[in-house]
Amino acid sequence: MLEKAGVPVLHELPGVGENLQDHLEVYFQYYCKQPVSLNSKLDLISKGLIGTRWILFKTGLGATNHFESCGFIRSRAGLKWPNIQYHFLPAAMRYDGKAAVKGHGFQVHVGPNKPESRGKLWIESSDPAAKPRILFNYITTEQDKQDWRDTIRLTREVLQQSALDEYRGEEIQPGMDIQSDEQIDQWVKKNVESAYHPSCTCKMGDDNDPMAVLNEQCQVRGLQNLRVVDSSVFPTITNGNLNAPTIMVAEKAADMILGKAPLPKLDAPVWIHPEYATKQR
Ligand SMILES: Cc1cc2nc3c(=O)[nH]c(=O)nc-3n(C[C@H](O)[C@H](O)[C@H](O)COP(=O)(O)OP(=O)(O)OC[C@H]3O[C@@H](n4cnc5c(N)ncnc54)[C@H](O)[C@@H]3O)c2cc1C
């Protein structure tokens, strides 16, 4: 690829740019029967008051990004850890604030966190200002498709629990007419969007892995004094949002670069369903 782009290869590392992963999500929306959602706060006066309060006192609705509750579930037996992530938003609208529903609503942002599909990025020009090519290959394996079907069905089940009865109105989207595998596949294809977590294109790995770009010290294999320290180092995408793990990598790498001894290993207890191998819940 480099040679095709007019860049001489000085050190071959075939894993660079491969193994691209990302988190995808959809908005699963319901109308809200109670007048308590943020949908009523989108007019200029409300936004002005919220902004003023935040500027003056750093309090109120402007002091939060509103994704204050989240959750993780396992979609199938055999998984030790949850693979589906939820963020709850007390409003029904697009991520960028557009296309808010009329009336009150709420939604969860939801998607599987451990996709199997792998994409890649590469260059086609030696001009450093030229944009790279990026191919995500989203939802290209059968397991990824199944994970999305499970996500939609389980999310509907979660949101239809009786605890939400006094708030939950009609399902806005996907909509109760989206039921079969084919309908879900089509709906997801049309509505899914990136959660903006592209990562894993310079993965860390052991000596036997020809696609590993970095060793366990974040050093580029076969070169001296070159490290990569960012969200590209993960071999597989993290099982939650990316920012905190990336900061963790950076803190750890800073210690390595400074030659500091690693902190003692922490054995935090993690709950694992005792029958995870055979039960989904
Ligand atoms: C819209 C959006 C929402 C997100 N929301 C969340 C969230 O809610 N929670 C969460 O955990 N994660 C979230 N993320 C993901 C998270 O922000 C990223 O995963 C994380 O910042 C990745 O860190 P990084 O160091 O790999 O890359 P970046 O943070 O992108 O850092 C790359 C740095 O390199 C610099 N740079 C680029 N080119 C050059 C160059 N040629 N020379 C010098 N410097 C250069 C850039 O200016 C930048 O500072 C979100 C991302 C986006 C885009």
Per-residue pLDDT tens over the stretch 226-267: 999 999 999 999 999 999 999 999 999 999 999 999 899 999
* Pocket of ligand 1 contains residue 29 by CB under 6 Å: no
pLDDT value for 113: 97
Tally of CA atoms within 13 A in the half-sphere of 238 that contains its CB: 20
66 noted as active-site residue: no
Identify whether residues 114 and 41 lie together within a single domain. Answer: yes
- CB of 234 closer than 8 Å to CB of 250: no
Identify whether residues 68 and 207 lie together within a single domain. Answer: no
Domain end: 151, 175, 194, which one?
194
Domain end: 177, 194, 211, which one?
194
Residue type, 6: G
pLDDT value for 1: 82
pLDDT value for 99: 77
pLDDT value for 96: 74
Identify whether residues 11 and 62 lie together within a single domain. Answer: no
Identify whether residues 168 and 203 lie together within a single domain. Answer: no
Does residue 117 carry a pLDDT above 80? yes
* Pocket of ligand 1 contains residue 95 by CB under 6 Å: no
DSSP 3-state assignment of 55?
A: helix
Tell me the CA distances in angstroms from 101 to 51, 91, 125, one per residue in order. 22, 9, 44
H helices then E strands: how many in the chain? Answer: 4, 8
Identify whether residues 29 and 107 lie together within a single domain. Answer: yes
276 falls within a domain: no
224 falls within a domain: yes
Q: What own/partner pairs with CB < 8 Å and gap ≥ 24 does 212-220 have?
A: 212/15, 213/13, 213/15, 213/16, 217/253, 217/256, 218/249, 218/253, 218/256, 220/13
Identify whether residues 187 and 228 lie together within a single domain. Answer: no
What digits encode the pLDDT tens for the residues 5-48? 999 999 999 999 999 999 999 999 999 999 999 999 999 999 99
Domain end: 179, 194, 209, which one?
194
Give the chain's domain count.
2
- CB of 74 closer than 8 Å to CB of 83: yes
Identify whether residues 44 and 157 lie together within a single domain. Answer: yes
Does residue 95 carry a pLDDT above 90? no
130 falls within a domain: no
The label of the residue with tokens 């792998």 reads: 118
Identify whether residues 107 and 244 lie together within a single domain. Answer: no
Identify whether residues 207 and 153 lie together within a single domain. Answer: no
CA 53 – ligand 1 centroid, Å: 29
136 falls within a domain: no
- Nearest C-alpha neighbor of 217 from the set 186, 176, 258: 258
What digits encode the pLDDT tens for the residues 189-233? 999 999 999 999 999 999 999 999 999 999 999 999 999 999 999
User: 3-state secondary structure string, 126-164?
Assistant: CCCCCCCEEECCCCCCHHHHHHHHHHHHHHHHHHCCHHH
11 falls within a domain: yes
Model pTM score: 0.93
Which CATH number is 179's domain given?
3.30.410.40
What digits encode the pLDDT tens for the residues 168-191? 999 999 999 999 999 999 999 999
Best residue among 243, 247, 248, 249 to mutate for probing ligand 1's pocket (most ligand atoms within 8 Å of CB) is 243
**Domain membership of residue 223 as a residue range:** 1-21+199-260
Identify whether residues 11 and 146 lie together within a single domain. Answer: no
pLDDT value for 94: 84
108 falls within a domain: yes
Identify whether residues 115 and 222 lie together within a single domain. Answer: no
- Nearest C-alpha neighbor of 281 from the set 111, 85, 73, 110: 73
